[in-house]
Structure 1
Amino acid sequence: MIRVAVGEADLALVHGIRREVFVVEQNVPEELEYDELDATSLHVLALAEDGTPLGTGRLIHGDEALKLTGVEGRVLLGRLAVVRAARGTGLGADLVRAIEQAGREHGGRELELHAQVQALGFYERLGYEAEGPVYDDAGIPHRTMTRVL
């Protein structure tokens, strides 16, 4: 089940998934993983039938998205994470589609994301196009990608 995260308990689950995937598995410094955008973003949360947290992602929209992208009508997908046990099940694509729908509902006409280079193929299969050069983010090569919603 994928739903919008609501309240502190859900946000703790979101942060737990991100800690497992980014901080523990990918060695992203913890102080870089959580930021002020968490408070104003819409978070989606995927849970197994028994309530086990499986994946998450966030949507940055409105004025925050405009400040970050510089493009009117563009929303930003970020912090997409799926726990190891749920990878390869299609959950990542389902999370992206849920965030895209939320982006449309918040007035987005285009979605931007900052993909780890190793995930470019995943996003390309979902209709995203890479633009600009490869850059470093938290010690991991990334590339900006966009898609019209």
Structure 2
Amino acid sequence: MPAHGKVLATKAVLRHTFLMPSHVSLTINQISAAQTLALRQAVLWPEHPIEASKVEGDETALHFGGFLGGDLICVASLFQDGGQDGGGVRLRKFATDPAHQGKGFGSDMLVYLVAQAREAGASDFWFDARETALGFYERHGFTTKGERFFKKGLPYWRMSLALG
């Protein structure tokens, strides 16, 4: 299998702990798609049924959870999804509990996910970002591509980061 396929070819348990300046640690573990749904819905689509938080390919994607103590406070999913050379990794359904936003936990998760994709040989890391989150992603080196578009009435931009 090509190196870029390793991102989604493994189902090994991955774990990483980030120490926050306040000595609070975020532990990142691989989790199931089902474990992501409640937080996805609560943060991203609270006015829609939980089924709206499911996406095609969830069964083959890698899903990650950020835990503070025993509480799941952040989720994200990585999908093997194209790019110019077929080595792209797509981030989808990235959500952090609003009570924990602005504390660096989402940044820790994003840095971890980009590192995982890079280690696996992915050439491109991309996603569709809500317009309200552009500044967050730009601080991490992502740039917009194309024109603004809408999903369920909300403005989005395609963003990406070359990993090669």
Give me the TM-score of the superposition, normalised by structure 1. Answer: 0.83
Q: Which residue of 2 is the match for residue 119 of structure 1?
A: 133
Q: Distance in 2 between matches of 1:29 and 1:133?
A: 29
Higher helix share: 1
Does the 8 Å contact 2:61/2:78 carry over to 1? Answer: yes
Q: Which residue of 2 is the match for residue 32 of structure 1?
A: 52
The letter of the residue matching 2:113 is I
Q: Distance in 1 between matches of 2:35 and 2:53?
A: 14
Higher strand share: 2
Q: What SS does structure 1 have at the residue aligned with 2:141?
A: coil
Q: How far is 1:37 from its partner?
A: 1.6
Q: Distance in 2 between matches of 1:28 and 1:102?
A: 31
**1:131–1:54 distance in 2 versus 1, CA, 3 Å:** same
Q: Which residue of 2 is the match for residue 21 of structure 1?
A: 43
Q: Which residue of 2 is the match for residue 55 of structure 1?
A: 74
Q: Distance in 2 between matches of 1:29 and 1:107?
A: 36
Listed one character per residue, the Cα deviations across residues 9-65 of structure 1 (whole Å, up to 9, x for unaligned) are: x543311111211221xx35543320232111111100111x11100111112xxx1
Instruction: List runs of 5+ in structure 2 lacking aligned partners.
Output: 1-25
Instruction: Determine whether 1:86 maps to 2:132.
Output: no
Q: Distance in 2 between matches of 1:28 and 1:119?
A: 20
Instruction: List runs of 5+ in structure 1 lacking aligned partners.
Output: none
Count of matched residue pairs: 138
Q: What's the % identity of the aligned pairs?
A: 28
Give me the TM-score of the superposition, normalised by structure 2. Answer: 0.76
Q: Specify the structure having the higher radius of gyration (Cα).
A: 2
**1:28–1:117 distance in 2 versus 1, CA, 3 Å:** farther
Listed one character per residue, the Cα deviations across residues 100-135 of structure 1 (whole Å, up to 9, x for unaligned) are: 122123321211111000101110000000111000
Q: Which runs of 4+ in 1 moved over 6 A?
A: none
